[in-house]
Structure 1
Amino acid sequence: MSSVIASADRSTGMVATVKMGSQSMKIDESGVATGEDTGPGPMDYIMSALGSCTVITLQMYAQRKNWPLERAQVTLQQRTLSGLEADLTPGNKRTVISKTLQLTGDLTPDQIERLKDISSRCPVQRTLEAGVLIETTLV
């Protein structure tokens, strides 16, 4: 079970401190109210998790197959749909994340196609696509 503690108070405005085990970081909603651009925003961390999980998954798979994948890079862009465009998506999803892969190495076309397929199987992408049940308790 993974545990994360996030906190913010009146003095920090739109800046939160997040602790994960012995690590901590700042998350700053700099585009609103009193954000101070002291750290990435919440969606940046979701995108970072997806991107890092994708390239790590690709490297693990290529190593296991002994394929010559030298470098995997993914560029992510997020946009929000509205109106009819959103209504026409499966499940009426409103957020779209576009992934662009760049694979470097002496790979065959079949290996490249397989790595593209594997890139969508990282645990973070599977979690995002499946959706998450969030239970809230007040203490």
Structure 2
Amino acid sequence: MANEVLVSIGEEAYTTTVQYEELSLLADEPIELGGQNKGLTPTQLLLSSVGTCKAITMRMYINRKAWKVNKIEIKMSSEVQKSDLQQTTYITCNITIDGDLDEEQRRRIYTIGEKCPVQKMLQHPIVIESNLIDTK
């Protein structure tokens, strides 16, 4: 499966469509920032990517172990701290695991969640290459 999505925006500020094959979702900005509030903001989508990856990774492990877990909830938040030399973003993941587990099982599930692919991607250097494609 390719890691490729199509992002498009028309004239309506700032409603943006994200597409992958037949799947799509909307991103937007809140009304107070000039958007239409029709979807999550880009920052919320980034937090969602980390949270869903962690939750899915944990669920895969739980299912493989056949442990009884009713629900995993991950409350995601971010804070940007700026200094003269750099900007640092802190992402906090508060994880609740509802299930019949002992402390060792809970700790193992947490450890597995820390290894999700999106978190690993964000914890290493990232290079973003943008190209302007001529439409003529």
Aligned to 2:93: 99
Q: Which residue, out of 107, 115, 122, partners 1:121? A: 115
Q: Report the CA distance between 1:79 and its aligned residue.
A: 0.8
Contact 2:28–2:41 (Cα < 8 Å) also in 1: yes
Higher mean Cα deviation, 58-67 or 23-32?
23-32
Matched, 1:61 2:61: yes
SS at match of 1:72: strand
Q: For 2:126, give the aligned amino acid.
A: V
Moved over 4 A (4+): none
**What percent identity do the matched residue pairs reach?**
27
* RMSD between aligned residues: 1.9
Q: Report the CA distance between 1:4 and its aligned residue.
A: 1.0
Normalising by structure 1, we get a TM-score of 0.84
Q: For 2:132, give the aligned amino acid.
A: L
Q: For 1:127, give the aligned amino acid.
A: M
Matched, 1:34 2:34: yes
SS at match of 2:92: strand
Contact 1:18–1:27 (Cα < 8 Å) also in 2: yes
Partner Cα separation in structure 1 for residue 125 and residue 68 of structure 2: 34
Higher mean Cα deviation, 41-50 or 63-72?
63-72
Contact 2:80–2:87 (Cα < 8 Å) also in 1: no
Partner Cα separation in structure 2 for residue 47 and residue 97 of structure 1: 8
Q: Which residue, out of 115, 130, 133, partners 1:136? A: 130
SS at match of 1:138: coil
Aligned to 2:8: 7
Q: Report the CA distance between 1:104 and its aligned residue.
A: 1.2
Normalising by structure 2, we get a TM-score of 0.86
Q: CA, structure 1 residues 55+43, in 2 after alignment: closer, same or farther (shift >3 Å)?
A: same
SS at match of 1:12: coil
Name whichever structure is richer in helix by fraction. Answer: 1
For each residue in 1:13-64, what CA deviation from the matched residue of structure 2 results, as whole angstroms up to 9, or x when unmatched?
2221221111122211226642111111111111111111111111111121
SS at match of 1:81: strand
* Runs of at least 5 residues in structure 1 that lack an aligned partner in the other structure: none
Partner Cα separation in structure 2 for residue 131 and residue 20 of structure 1: 25
For each residue in 1:89-121, what CA deviation from the matched residue of structure 2 results, as whole angstroms up to 9, or x when unmatched?
xxx551111011111111111111111111111
SS at match of 1:29: coil
